[in-house]
Amino acid sequence: MIRWFRGVAVVEAVSYLVLLAASVAKHVFGAHGLVETLGPVHGVIFLAYLGLALAVRRPLGWDSTTTGTVVIAAVIPLGALWVERRLTDEPGRQQSAEPA
């Protein structure tokens, strides 16, 4: 389930950026169809992100503050990428002390 959350977090961040770009294209170039198409797609991905965040809360040992941070990060462009990189390490998983 954690692997799914990590993948959806990346997809959510990318879809948010694409939606923002489509919004700019709509207002600058008059490309109206993009937002109407991408908005609902991003909405479904966002809801999947929120559902999975609640599902992985216990396995990852998140408290209410961390869970709130994860939800708030989703409404900040690229915030879900920060969550994926910083907050999804499984408890007890050993990390290498040597740089990659």
Read off the pLDDT of residues 6-33 as tens digits, 9 standing for 90 and up: 999 999 999 999 999 999 999 999 888 9
Instruction: Tell me if the pTM is above 0.75.
Output: yes
Q: Is residue 51 part of a domain?
A: yes
Print the domain residue range for 62: 2-86
Q: Is 30 left (phi over 0), alpha (psi -120 to 50) or beta?
A: left
Considering the domain boundaries, does residue 19 fall inside one? yes
Q: Is residue 45 part of a domain?
A: yes
Q: Is residue 94 part of a domain?
A: no
The two three-digit tokens of residue 92, written as one number: 């007890």
Mean pLDDT, the chain, integer: 88
In a domain, 42, yes or no: yes
User: What's the confidence (pLDDT) of residue 22?
Assistant: 95
Reference 75, options 42, 37, 30, 99; nearest CA is: 42
Q: What is the pLDDT of residue 96?
A: 44
pLDDT on residue 71: 93
Check pLDDT > 70 for residue 97.
Answer: no
Please give the tally of structural domains in the chain.
1
Q: What is the 3-state secondary structure (H, E, C) of 32-83?
A: CHHHHHHHHHHHHHHHHHHHHHHHHHHHHCCCHHHHHHHHHHCCCCCHHHHH
Among 13, 89, 20, residue whose Cα is nearest residue 49: 13
- Report yes or no on 91 lying in a domain: no
pLDDT digits 0-9 by tens, 41-84: 999 999 999 999 999 999 999 999 999 999 999 899 899 999 98
Distances (CA, A) of 47 to 15, 23, 52, 94: 12, 20, 8, 31
